[in-house]
Amino acid sequence: MRDFNRGRKFGRRDSSRPSYRDSRRSGRDSDRPERRDFKKEVEMHSATCDKCGARCEVPFKPSGSKPVYCSDCFRKGENFESKGPNHNKEFSIINEKLDKILEALGKD
Query: pLDDT (tens digit, 9 = 90+) per residue, 56-92?
Result: 999 899 998 999 999 888 888 765 565 667 788 999 9
Is 90 a member of any domain? no
- What span, in angstroms and rounded, lies between the C-alpha atoms of 3 and 62? 71
Which alpha helices (H) appear in 1-108, and where do they start and end? 20-26, 71-76, 88-105
Range of the domain at 70: 42-78
pLDDT of residue 19: 63
Question: pTM for the full model?
Answer: 0.38
What is the maximum span of the chain, computed from C-alpha positions, in angstroms? 82
Residue 107 Cα to chain centre, angstroms? 43
Tell me the pLDDT band of 94, cut-offs 50, 70 and 90: very high
Is 67 a member of any domain? yes
The amino acid present at 24, given as its one-letter code, is: R
Is 56 a member of any domain? yes
Q: Does pLDDT of 93 surpass 90? A: yes
Is 61 a member of any domain? yes
Is 103 a member of any domain? no
Query: How many domains are there within the chain?
Result: 1
Is 71 a member of any domain? yes
Burial 6-24 (b: 16+ CB within 10 A, else e): eeeeeeeeeeeeeeeeeee
